[in-house]
Amino acid sequence: GLPTCECNTCYSGANCSQLLPDCSADGDSGDPLFLEPYWQQHAASSAVVFSGWHRMSYRTTGDNFISLELERHIRLLHEAVGNAVTDGRLIIFGSGSTQLLNALVYALSPENASTPASVVATAPYYALYKMQTEVFDSREYEWKGITSKWLNTSVSSMQNFIEFVTSPNNPDGFLLQSVLGGPNIIYDHAYYWPHYTAIPAPADEDVMIFTDSKLSGHASSRFGWAVIKDEKVYRKAINYMQVNTMGVSRDTQLRVLKLIKMMLAEMRGEGGIFEFGYKTIAERWSKLSKVISSSNRFSLQQLSPQYCTYFKRIRNPSPAYAWFKCEMEQDVDCSAVLSEARIISRPGTVFEASSRYARLSLIKTRDDFDLLLRRMEALVSKEDVAS
């Protein structure tokens, strides 16, 4: 007989089409499973098989634990997408971009300074920057909160600051620039791909971080990379990798090479991953926006269509997350309002924003999104009855 499949959490029945009535729509987490159908369509051409004797050594083709062939393909990919300048830059790999965040905080911290470096970000910001900096808190650096507190810092003291800039931003999807304008900035470009944003120009900052998690959707492979201008910063980041994990899993590097080769080969054709990604999220955003537009109680961040150098046309917004706001005075805890309507969100306070905000993921599975939309329609239509 046919193998029986497991139904998604909220569904049951022979063909998983029965929605369990009390089940909550899960809009939490940035698990990029919206790309799963893309890879199902390219199942054979994206498969990697290797024998037991293959890649057993600590050593790799490149110095510092990286596969040169993978590095070359990452440069080709940036060039083909036009989202980052890599000429004359150095590249290091990390176990997810998560590992690189701290490697670069370490690498940018001044040596032998009398006070630890101050690590900051602009709210709303991705919570991991703070969590990680606090866990690894050391003589070299410490978390100092949001950038707006430090706007009057003198130019000389700015040497001692490390600013995270997330562009497009998690949670709200805006393209951001540095607020403090100091010399040590880590640009987190996790979402700077045509799935999620227009690409106005190639990013050209001194320290840039990217991740395969949000590019191909393989969060499980734990693969990220940093593009670094300054050799000294690069050496320190390499040193961190050396004493930490001795580089990224060689198995992962092999898998990611295959995925990037395939994305490059298919890029401008019918099987282009960015067309697929953009279409999927733009459609979800448009559906959700439409529902929210008939509400007086809720709103979403205002994103506009923008010219994209990759698609060579003006494109609609397709953010990874909806940054959802409760407008009514009594709805102080927006995440609780959603939770009552059986929608799981990430509270605004996690991003050091007001509890009137909540983040909803648009990049999970189709089932997750469809249920989210359904629950949202029900919530908004209740408003009509009440008013």
d(CA 375, CA 231): 51
Q: Which is nearer to ligand PMP, 249 or 295 (CB)?
A: 249
d(CA 36, CA 216): 9
Cβ neighbors of 197 (< 8 A, separation 6 or more) are 168, 173, 175, 191, 306, 318, 319
d(CA 154, CA 321): 35
Residue number closest to ligand PMP, CB atom? 96
How near is the Cβ of 40 to ligand PMP at its closest, in Å? 21
Q: Which is nearer to ligand PMP, 160 or 167 (CB)?
A: 167
Q: Which is nearer to ligand PMP, 173 or 317 (CB)?
A: 173
How near is the Cβ of 228 to ligand PMP at its closest, in Å? 17
How near is the Cβ of 44 to ligand PMP at its closest, in Å? 26
DSSP designation for 78: H
Other Cβ atoms within 10 Å of 355 Cβ, number? 16
24-41 in b/e form (b: 16+ CB < 10 A) is bbbbbebbbbbbeebbee
d(CA 229, CA 89): 5
How near is the Cβ of 139 to ligand PMP at its closest, in Å? 25
Q: Which is nearer to ligand PMP, 227 or 379 (CB)?
A: 227
d(CA 356, CA 343): 15
Q: Which is nearer to ligand PMP, 97 or 216 (CB)?
A: 97
Pairing of strands 185-188, 207-211: parallel
How near is the Cβ of 126 to ligand PMP at its closest, in Å? 4
Q: Which is nearer to ligand PMP, 30 or 124 (CB)?
A: 30
How near is the Cβ of 239 to ligand PMP at its closest, in Å? 20
How near is the Cβ of 131 to ligand PMP at its closest, in Å? 12
How near is the Cβ of 236 to ligand PMP at its closest, in Å? 20
Q: What is the amino acid identity at position 298?
A: F
Q: Which is nearer to ligand PMP, 124 or 182 (CB)?
A: 124
Q: Which residues bind ligand PMP (CB under 6 A)?
A: 30, 96-98, 126, 166, 170, 188, 190, 211, 213, 219, 224
Q: Which is nearer to ligand PMP, 65 or 298 (CB)?
A: 65
* Burial bucket for residue 206 (CB in 10 Å: 0-12, 13-18, 19+): middle
DSSP designation for 148: G
Q: What is the amino acid identity at position 40?
A: Q
Find out whether 163 and 153 touch, Cβ atoms under 8 Å: no
d(CA 256, CA 103): 21
DSSP designation for 349: G
Q: Which is nearer to ligand PMP, 191 or 298 (CB)?
A: 191
Residue closest to 34 by CA, chosen among 366, 370, 373: 366
Residues for the chain: how many in total?
A: 387
How near is the Cβ of 225 to ligand PMP at its closest, in Å? 10
